[in-house]
């Protein structure tokens, strides 16, 4: 009467109740993948169908990043000066 427990481990899984095996976590991962694929397809579509418009979008994006960096720099300068104008 040797009763034992058989355990099988699979690489990359945390067990039957792990975060990536089933349930809401798996649905969330799938939803993120679908959203990412849709975004990539949209970006490729815009680039292929209207490169000039795509270049405009890239320019707008970089201007936004530049403005944000400038605002952070201004805030850091203000904070380094003790919050004085």
Q: Is 47 exposed, middle or buried (0-12, 13-18, 19+ CB in 10 A)?
A: middle
pLDDT tens-digit readout, 30-44 = 888 999 999 999 989
Q: Could you give the CA distance from residue 68 to residue 60 in angstroms, rounded to a whole number? A: 12
What pTM does this model have?
0.50
Long-range contacts formed by 7-10: CB under 8 A, 24+ apart: none
Work out the pLDDT band at 48, boundaries 50, 70, 90: very high
Q: Rounded to an integer, what distance in angstroms lies between the CA atom of residue 74 and that of residue 85?
A: 11
Q: Region 8-22: what's the mean pLDDT?
A: 54
């Amino acid at each position: 009467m040797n009763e034992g427990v058989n355990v099988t481990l699979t690489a990359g899984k945390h067990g039957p109740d792990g975060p990536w095996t089933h349930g809401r976590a798996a649905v969330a991962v799938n939803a993120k993948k679908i959203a990412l694929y849709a975004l990539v397809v949209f970006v490729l579509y815009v680039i292929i169908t209207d490169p000039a418009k795509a270049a405009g979008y890239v320019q707008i994006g970089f201007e936004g990043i530049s403005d944000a960096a400038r605002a952070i720099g201004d805030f850091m300068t203000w904070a380094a000066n003790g919050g004085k104008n």
